[in-house]
Amino acid sequence: MTNLPPLILASQSPRRKELLGKLGIPYTVIIQDTEEEHHERLEPQELCYVNALAKAQAIADKHPDSTVIGADTLVFLGQTPLGKPKDQNDAKAMLRSLSGKAHNVCTAVAIISPTQTIKITEITQVFFKTLSDDLIDQYMSLVNVMDKAGSYACQEHGEMIIEKMLGDFDNVVGFPTEKVAEHLTALGYLVK
């Protein structure tokens, strides 16, 4: 199909840029600050999707002839969402709270094209090893945890803290690449 709408990624995340780049579709990055919701009364998938949609909609409103992708990732310990840490102490507290437990990582993606809005939500279960304070300090010395939901990155020294995962690895990184590729293909984009 020719004359497809230009593709815009409404995220400055280097991880999302890299994963979308693997699909081989030319795109540009345009971001706008949006207020993120943090309502614990919303189900994990719904909370993530509300935030992903807000990010995409803010750009789609200004670029109605484009296809815009917005995404949001949160770590959930039970029903409690863990976003990015406020400071180093908050990051340590988050890692301590995840130690020896299973938790869910939810990523939602909103794709707004000129003809439709597509909702994608994906959950991956992650099992953490039991973490000593020394191991947490060592991990934090190797990884910039401050811009990561839940204060960790599975793709950066994840073997130090993660015992196993059930589900999509890319989803934990912040972008369920396979599902996004399926929907973009359905919209007519040529995915590698």
Q: What domains can be seen in the chain, in order of their start residue?
A: 7-186 (3.90.950.10)
Distance, CA of 160 to CA of 175 (rounded, Å): 22
Query: Which residues are tagged catalytic?
Result: 72
Closest CA to 107 of 65, 76, 72: 72
In angstroms, the CA 105 to CA 126 distance is 7
Q: How confident is the model at residue 147 (pLDDT cuts 50, 70, 90)?
A: confident
Residue 137 near residue 128, CB atoms below 8 Å = no
Q: Which pLDDT score is estimated for 165?
A: 97
Task: Indicate whether 1 pLDDT > 50.
Answer: no
Beta bridge partners of 96: none
Per-residue model confidence (pLDDT) at position 44: 85
Residue 128: phi, psi to the nearest 5?
Answer: -90, 145
Closest by CA to 161, choosing from 131, 124, 125, is 131
Q: What is the pLDDT at residue 101?
A: 97
106 has pLDDT over 80: yes
Q: Compute how many other C-beta atoms are within 10 angstroms of the C-beta atom of residue 51.
A: 24
Q: What pTM, to 2 d.p., does this model score?
A: 0.91
Q: What are 10's two structure tokens?
A: 């409404």
Structure tokens at 190: 């040529």
Q: How much is the pLDDT for 2?
A: 61
Strand 28-29 to 67-77 pairing = unpaired
- Please determine, for residue 182, whether its predicted confidence score (pLDDT) is greater than 60: yes
Cβ within 8 Å of residue 79, ≥6 positions away: 40, 44
pLDDT tens, 111-124? Answer: 999 999 999 999 99
Supply the mean pLDDT for the chain: 94
* CB-count exposure of residue 82 (10 Å: 0-12, 13-18, 19+): buried
Q: Among the listed ranges 56-60, 80-84, 105-109, 141-145, which one has the minimum average pLDDT value?
A: 80-84
Tell which wins on pLDDT, 79 or 49.
49
CA distances from 104 to 53, 60, 118, 172 (A): 20, 29, 22, 9
Range in 35-39, 125-129, 167-171 with the lowest mean pLDDT: 35-39
Q: If pLDDT is split at 50, 70 and 90, which confidence band does 42 have? A: confident
